């Protein structure tokens, strides 16, 4: 049995809700109680005046829980202490007050709830306004415009799903979208995602190809990045028309329309929240893509997520194809990837809360992220680095759980000019050998070893005793 104490509309509504779960009694001041609808099975115990807890009428049985909404129903200066004495083992819930704190009393801070409600309303306005601006901008492009959508190099699920969403939106609004990327798609999950969801991609290799695309496009959209020339094929002086990204920026961003929202844990989450206020019809294909992008960037909601991401996930779940999602999440690993795991486990160094795992013969770039996630999830360390050499660059993937370390900012400061960066808990980079003091030549295994040892020493000196960033 629930016992609700109060006479305000909140108390009445709460009593009505509780009565649908189990028998409920509402203790109220008769003179202040206003009931405009049927309370169902809720029994009302009206009081002629405020009474001490000890003088309350017998409720018939020990309450399952007591919920104190309006303390003025009761008389006394220590109402909560009196309630605890009358019902020693019963859970008690009330609004936070100045009365003496009791460990056995659960409290709700009404101010925090009101503040959160205001914030959510502002977010709703932002979503609607942002969606209106984005949709209007694309809709009013010249008829049947060519729209170039760019992912960062070696696009991950967040970038791929975001690009697909923009592709569908642009097509829906009557234009011709094409998704472009540099680098390779090597991760087994990413390849499965592209294949199973039939994501239309075009890889650009040659400079003249990129020049033709930029010259022909009426609109350039970037997803999951905001700095042209940094880990993407766009020239550094390119000014996109639309930028959609969840990464933070210390520099001013140039674009006609820019959505930089670091409070979102993934660009797919940001786009999903925008789509909620748009006329584009959601489909299982698109919902599955965005859901997978959001899940991967939050490591299945085990790192860096908040209520806006959960809101997106719940909204998308209505349309997600669970069978298709499972097929994307669990592809077979290649022998080369398994070899990367083996090498990392053999070479792994653990020191001062830091894991360093160089891979001597790196075949697939995306193996780095897979190995990093594995080592991070199966160790008690604070920081994990996995790295290898490809095409005259050291490629790395990093994971972090130190509260006082922003791994992305730390790497961007150590390796500037867009060579490395990311989030507080997850980052990556591709660092030219020339910036590390090595000549860019055809390297043999011995040279690889030398470079990886030097790089390991550099990371160790920076992060093994790092306290702040």
Both tokens of 467, joined, read 């306290």
Q: Using pLDDT thresholds of 50, 70 and 90, give the confidence band for residue 101.
A: low
Q: Using pLDDT thresholds of 50, 70 and 90, give the confidence band for residue 469.
A: very low
Instruction: Give the domain CATH number at 56.
Output: 3.40.50
Taking the CB of residue 83, how many other CB atoms lie within 10 A of it?
25
In this structure, the answer to whether residues 137 and 260 fall within a common structural domain is yes
Provide mean pLDDT across the span 397-419: 86
Cα-Cα-Cα-Cα dihedral sign, residues 73, 79, 84, 86: negative
Instruction: Give the domain CATH number at 389.
Output: 3.10.310.30
Residue that finishes a domain, picked among 82, 108, 134: 108
pLDDT at 321: 95
Q: Using pLDDT thresholds of 50, 70 and 90, give the confidence band for residue 468.
A: very low
In this structure, the answer to whether residues 449 and 393 fall within a common structural domain is yes
Please state, rounded to an integer, the average pLDDT across all residues of the chain: 87
In a domain, 365, yes or no: yes
* Range scoring the smallest mean pLDDT among 242-251, 300-309, 385-394: 300-309
In this structure, the answer to whether residues 307 and 159 fall within a common structural domain is yes
Residue that finishes a domain, picked among 59, 83, 108: 108
pLDDT at 186: 76
Question: Counting beta carbons within 10 angstroms of the beta carbon of residue 47, is it exposed (0 to 12), middle (13 to 18) or buried (19 or more)?
Answer: buried
In a domain, 247, yes or no: yes
**Angle subtended by helix axes 267-275 and 157-172, to nearest 10:** 30
Q: Which is nearest to 86 in space by CA: 106, 108, 58?
A: 58
In this structure, the answer to whether residues 104 and 250 fall within a common structural domain is no
pLDDT at 103: 67
pLDDT at 76: 86
Residue 92, pLDDT above cutoff 80: yes
Question: Any idea how long the chain is?
Answer: 469
Residue 149, pLDDT above cutoff 80: yes
Side-by-side strand order, sheet with 42-47: 42-47, 24-29, 2-5, 65-68, 92-95, 105-108
> In this predicted model, what pLDDT tens digit does every residue of 156-194 receive, in sequence order?
999 999 999 999 999 999 999 999 999 888 778 888 999
Instruction: Count Cβ neighbours within 10 Å for each residue of 163-179 and write b for 16 or more, e otherwise.
Output: bbbbbbbbebbebebbb
Provide mean pLDDT across the span 306-331: 89
Domain that holds residue 353: 335-463
Residue 379, pLDDT above cutoff 90: no
In this structure, the answer to whether residues 413 and 455 fall within a common structural domain is yes
Provide mean pLDDT across the span 297-326: 87
In a domain, 469, yes or no: no
In a domain, 173, yes or no: yes
Provide mean pLDDT across the span 450-454: 89
In this structure, the answer to whether residues 6 and 39 fall within a common structural domain is yes
Q: Using pLDDT thresholds of 50, 70 and 90, give the confidence band for residue 448.
A: confident
pLDDT at 467: 47
- Predicted TM-score (pTM) of the model is 0.64
In this structure, the answer to whether residues 310 and 215 fall within a common structural domain is yes
Provide mean pLDDT across the span 318-347: 88
In this structure, the answer to whether residues 226 and 308 fall within a common structural domain is yes
Query: In this predicted model, which residue has the larger pLDDT, 359 or 416?
Result: 359
Instruction: Give the domain CATH number at 196.
Output: 3.90.1640.10
> What is the DSSP annotation of 398-445?
EEE--TT--HHHHHHHHSTTTTEEE-SSEEEEEEEGGGGT---S---H
In this structure, the answer to whether residues 127 and 243 fall within a common structural domain is yes
Number of domains in the chain: 3
In a domain, 405, yes or no: yes
State how beta strands 65-68 and 74-75 pair.
unpaired
Query: In this predicted model, which residue has the larger pLDDT, 103 or 80?
Result: 80
Q: Using pLDDT thresholds of 50, 70 and 90, give the confidence band for residue 388.
A: very high
**Running DSSP on this structure, what letter comes out for residue 299?**
T
In a domain, 468, yes or no: no
Q: Using pLDDT thresholds of 50, 70 and 90, give the confidence band for residue 100.
A: low
| CA dist., res. 309 & res. 261, Å (int) | 12
In this structure, the answer to whether residues 274 and 159 fall within a common structural domain is yes
Side-by-side strand order, sheet with 201-203: 201-203, 176-181, 146-150, 219-223, 242-245, 257-260
In this structure, the answer to whether residues 307 and 396 fall within a common structural domain is no
In a domain, 236, yes or no: yes
Residue that finishes a domain, picked among 108, 131, 164: 108
In this structure, the answer to whether residues 403 and 314 fall within a common structural domain is no
Most confident of 201-215, 244-258, 299-313: 201-215
Query: In this predicted model, which residue has the larger pLDDT, 318 or 110?
Result: 318
């Amino acid at each position: 049995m629930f016992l609700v104490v109060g006479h305000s509309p909140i108390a009445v509504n709460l009593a009505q809700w509780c009565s649908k779960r189990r028998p409920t009694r509402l203790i109220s001041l008769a003179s202040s109680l206003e009931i405009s609808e049927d309370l169902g099975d809720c029994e009302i115990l009206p009081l002629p005046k405020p009474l001490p807890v000890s003088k309350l009428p017998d409720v018939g049985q020990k309450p399952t829980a007591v919920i104190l909404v309006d303390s003025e129903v009761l008389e006394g200066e220590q109402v909560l202490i009196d309630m605890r004495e009358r019902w020693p083992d019963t859970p008690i819930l009330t609004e936070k007050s100045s009365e003496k704190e009791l460990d056995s009393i659960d409290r709700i801070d009404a101010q925090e709830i009101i503040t959160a409600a205001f914030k959510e309303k502002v977010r709703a306005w932002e979503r609607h306004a942002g969606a209106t601006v984005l949709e209007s901008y694309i809709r009013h492009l010249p008829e049947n415009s060519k729209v170039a959508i760019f992912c960062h190099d070696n696009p991950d699920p967040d970038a791929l799903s975001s690009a697909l969403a923009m592709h569908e939106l642009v097509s829906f609004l009557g234009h011709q979208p094409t998704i472009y990327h540099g680098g390779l798609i090597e991760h087994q999950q990413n390849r499965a995602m592209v294949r199973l969801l039939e994501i239309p991609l075009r890889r650009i290799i040659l400079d003249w190809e990129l020049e033709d695309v930029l010259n022909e496009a009426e609109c350039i959209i970037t997803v999951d990045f905001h700095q042209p020339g940094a880990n993407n094929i766009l020239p550094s002086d390119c000014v996109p028309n639309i930028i959609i990204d969840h990464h933070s920026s210390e520099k001013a961003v140039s674009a006609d329309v820019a959505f930089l929202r670091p409070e979102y844990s993934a660009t797919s989450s940001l786009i999903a929240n925008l789509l909620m206020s748009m006329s584009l019809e959601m489909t299982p294909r698109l919902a599955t893509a965005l859901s997978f992008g959001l899940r991967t960037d939050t490591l299945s909601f085990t790192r860096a997520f908040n209520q806006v991401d959960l809101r997106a996930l719940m909204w998308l779940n209505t349309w997600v194809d669970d069978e298709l999602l499972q097929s994307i999440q669990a592809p077979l690993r290649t022998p080369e990837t398994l070899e990367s795991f083996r090498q990392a486990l053999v070479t792994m160094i653990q020191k001062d809360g830091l894991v360093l795992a160089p891979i001597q013969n790196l075949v697939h770039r995306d193996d780095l992220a897979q190995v990093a996630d594995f080592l991070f999830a199966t160790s008690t360390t604070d920081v994990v680095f996995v790295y290898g050499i490809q095409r005259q660059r050291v490629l790395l993937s990093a994971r972090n759980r130190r509260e006082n370390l922003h791994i992305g900012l730390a790497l961007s400061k150590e390796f500037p000019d867009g060579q490395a960066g990311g989030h507080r808990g997850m980052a990556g980079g591709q660092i030219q050998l020339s910036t590390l003091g090595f000549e860019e030549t055809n390297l043999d295994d011995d040279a690889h070893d030398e470079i990886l040892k030097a790089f390991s020493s550099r990371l160790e000196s920076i992060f093994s005793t790092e306290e702040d960033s």
